[in-house]
Amino acid sequence: MAAFQLESWLHGIIEENLNGDEAFRRFSGKNPAHPLTRSDVEAYRDFHLQRTLQYAYENSYFYREQFDRSRLKPSDIAGFKDLAKFPLTGPQHLAQYPYRFLCTSQAVVARPCIFVTSGTTGPQKEIFWSQWDLEKITEFMAAGISTVATRDDTVQILLPDGKPNSQADLLRQGVAKFGARPVVSGAEQSAEEQLRILDTFHSTILFGFTGQLYRISKELQPDHDLQLKGVKVLFLAGEYLPAARRRELETIWNCRVHTHYGLTEMGLGVAVECTAGDGYHFNEADLLLEIIDPVTGERVKPGDEGELVFTTLTREAMPLIRYRTHDLSRLIEKPCPCGATSLLKFDAVRKRLESVVTLGNGAEMYPTLFDDLLLSIAGVIDYRVKLLRHESMDRLEFTIETIRENDNVLAEINRTLRLAPVIADNIAAGSMNEPRVKLVGMGAFRTADRAKKMIVDCR
């Protein structure tokens, strides 16, 4: 099998560095006769890490202080291994002191980005990107699109159509950079309107949020044969995708479904699902990844679950060093069937630190457990869940959006929930009441924000 496109792209960048940067050539000691391997990717990573640390030390008030407080100099950190000595950066630092991170004058900033993540609990944060940063961001988007598209494809972008350099606009630039045709159809159009745009432009790839594309698909399905529309790929963002829902979407459109993992702080696009379909390769041209124990801050053993922590390697306006994502995942170490031999790969993110609630008996519960259960039931579109305390026991209350509100669906939902170990074990142990379920009709959650799903803890 040909190498995964993201690997060819990264190798191209490393080759460019080897040809154009004398300092990197000396640092890497690469033998030009040998093909690139993991150790060349690591040399590239460590070289750009050193540059980033020196640059942040000289230009960012925040990082200068972090170095001074830790009694470190950039020269004390030669590479990945030494980076563990440096303090972590948290979302709260960004929320408190955004301007102290800035390494350029504000005149250089092409796009300040103000956003809130982590449901309704996360603080508001500001990120600044220079024109150089935006070029890097759209280059990675082009590389990400190349993993699912050819230059003959038309990519319909179902993201909110905002200002120039909005997420939709940057993706439009990325698709154009790759050489395919972008069509921004926005997020607020009706399902019929999205289909009309698809028919007009002969879109072959649809890019949007998982829940949004599922809802559109279910709304259109009764009146249209979507299998005949010529769509090759649904490229989905934003939410965890249970296997059953992936299969359902693949059947509805008779196409492949790929997902990606994104994070605004890291430049929107971070990682794309590899063709093997069981994990993500990420943007190793611009990001360094560590996985840490969220309690101790120590790195976990390869393959163990921990929090994803990224360091930017090429950022100009606002480099971030050891930035905590609060997303939990693990490295997948075995050789990847997609053919990539020099890329790291991590598992789907099933938990966020904020999304885990601890029950009275110490057991952990998080929303993707319910995604796997509920979104596998035909007719369920979306749901919300609350955890309450009732007669000194835990109780879950679900509000579930379904295509039809009928007794069969309700019975199946109740059966599925009660048999699930995450609920059944706690009921058997006497620490939880039977869950309560309320059905609402299709469209009830349509206007809700697309923040990451939480178990709303009302105890």
Positions that interact with Zn ion (CB under 5 A)? 274, 276, 336, 338, 340
Residues with Cβ within 8 Å of residue 393, at least 6 apart in sequence: 360, 430, 431, 432, 433
The single residue listed with the structure tokens 């202080």 is: 65
The pair of three-digit structure tokens given for residue 155, joined into one six-digit string: 């990519």
Q: How far apart are CB 345 and Zn ion at their closest, in Å? A: 6
Q: Compute CA 399 distance to the chain's CA centroid, rounded to the nearest angstrom.
A: 26
The whole-angstrom distance between residue 371's C-alpha and the CA centroid of its chain comes to 17
Q: Minimal CA–CA distance to 263: which of 291, 283, 242, 246?
A: 283
Quote the least distance from Cβ 340 to Zn ion, whole Å.
5
| Minimum distance, C-beta of residue 148 to Zn ion, in the bound complex (Å) | 13
Judged by beta carbon, residue 17 or residue 283, the one nearer Zn ion is 283
| AA letter at 259 | T
Nearer to Zn ion, 5 or 165 (CB): 5
Nearest residue (CB) to Zn ion, 7 versus 139:
7
CA atoms within 13 Å, Cβ hemisphere of 359: 22
CB of 333 to Zn ion, least distance (A): 12
* CA 244 distance to own-chain centroid: 20
Q: Shortest Cβ distance from residue 334 to Zn ion (Å)?
A: 10
State both tokens at 208.
Answer: 């949007």
Q: How far is the CB of 147 from Zn ion (least distance, A)?
A: 10
Interior angle at CA 153, CA 149 and CA 154, nearest 5: 120
- When the beta carbons of 269 and 319 are compared against Zn ion, the nearer one is 269
Closest CB to Zn ion among residues 3, 110: 3
Minimum CB–partner distance for residue 450 and Zn ion (Å): 27
Query: Is the distance from CB of 266 to CB of 323 less than 8 angstroms?
Result: yes
Q: How far apart are CA 168 and CA 187, in angstroms?
A: 10
Which residue lies nearer to Zn ion by CB, 40 or 401? 40
Nearer to Zn ion, 340 or 375 (CB): 340
